[in-house]
């Protein structure tokens, strides 16, 4: 197809001929017989966005789960009312997502038994690493005597819960509206069957985006079970199989142990640290020296920053969701949304990286702000090398995002509403 009258980010006005890859770029190109054309009308064409850390199945499941996050639930009475009104799924469960203690306080099985219907209920913490089950739910997964009903995600208990048959079509359409042409699924323990299913959905049109997988080398760390020797041994074993690792680090302790383990085991060029929510000053040089990639989510500053300002000691707040200091230290960095645990809109994530503004209007760590061009570029990396940006030039991927505004306005607004079309492998998808 031929995209006409487009601006590139550097200000050039060009026509772009694109198929699986970009064939030609010139000031003006003549349409070929039968060739599809799209008039960009002076808008901007950029590489299609790649979200470098998502959870596709969880995102699809969240669409038909009860939402119990602090934005919607403000008391135990409201929490109970939402669960009472929630439909029971075909699997026999009520499933709720997005919970945080600020909504209705700490949860355990006893409290849930008082507040929830007498059917299996499972509630996911907004961090994605913890579930709360009531007694009916614990019996359903073979743990009737569990003391508190607080279970880690991806542990063996989850095998007893029938997976919901959730289509990814709605998630994929939403991503097209953001100009997202590819994602990296960071779900741990993805097996061959999961990958085959996702591949089939992509092949048959339910999932338009290219999908890259981190499995099997992802590991979620927990502060209460950090073991340096065990982690180093696991990393070394992965590397012996020529597999990179991806380490889920959301606390300073997890990051410190991860860095020490990488020192002991050695590194692979594609090793990653996911999130790096807390990066102490003395970890910056180690991250740069190890040349490990950090995939982080500044969108959580916008989404959860006000709670951080309450919960996190003022002396520790400068270490939260760092970005500018990572780049200044020479750390390899890419951005992602972590959907569904974060807002799926990468443009909102970019704005958070630029402005660091919370919902209430506070600015969290102004020294970590980056330019709009930098924020945008950090969403255009290659799937296999997220810190290496793709470009709009002949020979590059035919995955593009077409925006309705000139470059200066695009960078000023960083707004998904400017997306008019998404091109994947030369196929045009207009924004609804």
- Measured between alpha carbons, how far is 238 from 236 in angstroms, rounded to an integer? 5
Residue 156 reports pLDDT greater than 90: no
pLDDT in tens, 111-139: 999 998 889 999 999 999 999 999 999 99
Q: How far apart are the first and last CA of the chain?
A: 20
CATH number (domain holding residue 133): 3.10.310.70
324 and 305 inside one domain:
yes
Q: Which domain-ending residue is among 104, 133, 160? A: 160
Residue 217 reports pLDDT greater than 90: no
218 and 289 inside one domain:
yes
Residue 189 reports pLDDT greater than 90: no
pLDDT in tens, 287-303: 999 999 999 999 999 99
Q: Which of 325, 329, 335 is nearest to 367 (CA)?
A: 325
Residue 164 reports pLDDT greater than 70: no
Q: Which domain-ending residue is among 160, 181, 213? A: 160
b/e code 147-160 from CB counts within 10 Å (16+ = b): eebebebbeebeee
The residue-averaged pLDDT of 318-345 equals 98
State the Cα torsion 402-406-412-414 to the nearest 10°. -10
Least confident span in 153-167, 271-285, 368-382, 405-419: 153-167
The residue-averaged pLDDT of 353-376 equals 97
CATH number (domain holding residue 223): 3.20.20.140
Q: Which domain-ending residue is among 102, 133, 160? A: 160
pLDDT in tens, 75-101: 999 999 999 999 998 889 999 999 999
pLDDT in tens, 380-430: 999 999 999 999 999 999 999 999 999 999 999 999 999 999 999 999 999
Residue 271 token pair: 């090793």
Backbone CA torsion sign across 120, 123, 128, 131: negative
274 and 172 inside one domain:
yes
Number of CB atoms found within 10 A of residue 108's CB: 15
273 and 186 inside one domain:
yes
248 and 366 inside one domain:
yes
b/e code 13-24 from CB counts within 10 Å (16+ = b): ebbbbbeeebbe
240 and 147 inside one domain:
no
The residue-averaged pLDDT of 61-73 equals 93
Residue 204 reports pLDDT greater than 90: no
246 and 349 inside one domain:
yes
Residues in the chain: 432
Residue 191 reports pLDDT greater than 70: no
96 and 185 inside one domain:
no
Residue 232 reports pLDDT greater than 80: yes
Domain that holds residue 96: 64-160
409 and 363 inside one domain:
no
CATH number (domain holding residue 413): 2.30.40.10
380 and 397 inside one domain:
no
* pLDDT for position 216: 72
* pLDDT for position 275: 97
Residue 49 reports pLDDT greater than 70: yes
Average per-residue pLDDT in the chain? 94
- H helices of 14-163, in order, are 56-62, 76-85, 101-104, 109-115, 135-140
301 and 332 inside one domain:
yes
Number of CB atoms found within 10 A of residue 36's CB: 12
pLDDT in tens, 248-262: 999 999 999 999 999
* pLDDT for position 162: 66
The residue-averaged pLDDT of 226-237 equals 97
Number of domains the chain contains: 3
338 and 382 inside one domain:
yes
């Amino acid at each position: 197809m031929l995209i006409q009258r487009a601006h590139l980010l550097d200000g050039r006005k060009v026509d772009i001929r694109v198929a699986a890859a970009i064939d030609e770029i010139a000031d003006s190109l003549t349409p070929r017989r039968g060739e599809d054309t799209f008039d960009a009308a002076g808008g901007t064409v950029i590489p299609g966005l790649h979200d470098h850390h998502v959870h596709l199945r969880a995102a699809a499941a969240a669409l038909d789960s009860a939402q119990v996050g602090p934005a919607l639930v403000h008391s135990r009475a409201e929490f109970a009312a939402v669960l009472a009104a929630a439909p029971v799924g075909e699997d026999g469960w009520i499933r709720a997502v997005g919970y945080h203690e600020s909504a209705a306080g700490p949860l355990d099985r006893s409290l849930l038994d008082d507040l929830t219907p007498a059917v299996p209920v499972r509630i996911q913490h907004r961090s994605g690493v913890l579930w709360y089950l009531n007694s009916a739910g614990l019996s359903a997964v073979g743990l009737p005597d569990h003391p508190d009903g607080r279970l880690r995600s991806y542990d063996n208990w989850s095998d007893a819960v029938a997976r919901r048959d959730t289509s990814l079509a709605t998630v994929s359409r939403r991503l097209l509206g953001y100009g997202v042409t590819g994602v990296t699924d960071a779900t741990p323990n993805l097996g061959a069957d999961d990958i085959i299913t996702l591949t089939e959905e992509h092949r048959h049109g339910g999932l338009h985006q290219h999908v890259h997988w981190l499995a099997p080398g992802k590991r979620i760390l927990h502060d209460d079970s950090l073991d340096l020797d065990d982690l180093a041994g696991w990393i070394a074993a992965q590397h012996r199989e020529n597999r990179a690792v991806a380490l889920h680090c959301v606390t300073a302790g997890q990051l410190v142990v991860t860095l020490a383990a990488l020192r002991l085991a050695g590194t692979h060029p594609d090793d990653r640290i996911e999130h790096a929510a807390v990066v102490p000053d003395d970890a910056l040089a180690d991250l740069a020296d190890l040349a490990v990639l950090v995939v982080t989510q500044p969108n959580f500053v916008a989404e959860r920053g006000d709670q951080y300002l309450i919960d996190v000691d003022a002396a520790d707040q400068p270490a939260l969701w760092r970005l500018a200091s990572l780049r200044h230290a020479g750390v390899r960095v890419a951005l992602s949304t972590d959907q569904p645990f974060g807002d799926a809109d990468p443009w909102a994530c970019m704005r958070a990286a630029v402005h660091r503004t919370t919902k209430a209007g506070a600015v969290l760590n102004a020294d970590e702000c980056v330019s709009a061009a930098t924020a945008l570029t950090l969403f255009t990396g290659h799937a296999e090398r997220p810190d290496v940006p793709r470009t709009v030039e002949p020979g590059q991927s035919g995955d593009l995002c077409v925006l309705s505004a000139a470059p200066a306005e695009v960078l000023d607004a960083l707004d998904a509403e400017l997306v008019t079309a998404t091109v994947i492998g030369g196929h045009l998808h207009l924004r609804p």
